[in-house]
C-alpha cells in the first residue's frame, strides 16, 4: 500500500494488491498515510497452494479489478 499511495502522490497511476489475510493491514497503512479511501485489489489467501488453473483465474480477475480502479470504469 505504501508504494501505491506514494506512487499516486507522485503522479504515477497505482493500485495495491493484497490477499484476504492482509486487508486490515492494508486499510491501516492507508489510514496512516492519510489515504483512508485508497482502493486496492483483494485476492484470495493463500495463493501458494492454488492450482495453475486457479492462479490463472485469480490473475485475470486481479487485472480486471486493477483496470477498473485505474480507469474508473
Helix (H) or strand (E) holding 41: strand 40-43
**Bridge partners of residue 19, in order along the sequence:** 43
Chain segment 38-69, per-residue pLDDT in tens = 999 999 998 889 999 999 999 999 999 999 99
Q: What is the pLDDT of residue 47?
A: 82
Model confidence pLDDT, tens digit, residues 5-37:
999 999 999 999 999 999 999 999 999 999 999
Pairing of the two strands 40-43 and 16-19: parallel
Q: How many CB atoms lie within 10 A of CB 8?
A: 15
Q: Percent of the chain, pLDDT > 90?
A: 93
pLDDT at 69: 96
Residue 41 to residue 51: CA distance in whole angstroms: 20
Amino acid at each position: 500500500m505504501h508504494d501505491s499511495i506514494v506512487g499516486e502522490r507522485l503522479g504515477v497511476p497505482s493500485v495495491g494488491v493484497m490477499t484476504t489475510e492482509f486487508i486490515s493491514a492494508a486499510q491501516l497503512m492507508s489510514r496512516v498515510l492519510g489515504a483512508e479511501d485508497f482502493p486496492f485489489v483483494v485476492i484470495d489467501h493463500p495463493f501458494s497452494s492454488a492450482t495453475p488453473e486457479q492462479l490463472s483465474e485469480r490473475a485475470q480477475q486481479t487485472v480486471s479489478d486493477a483496470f477498473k480502479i485505474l480507469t474508473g470504469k
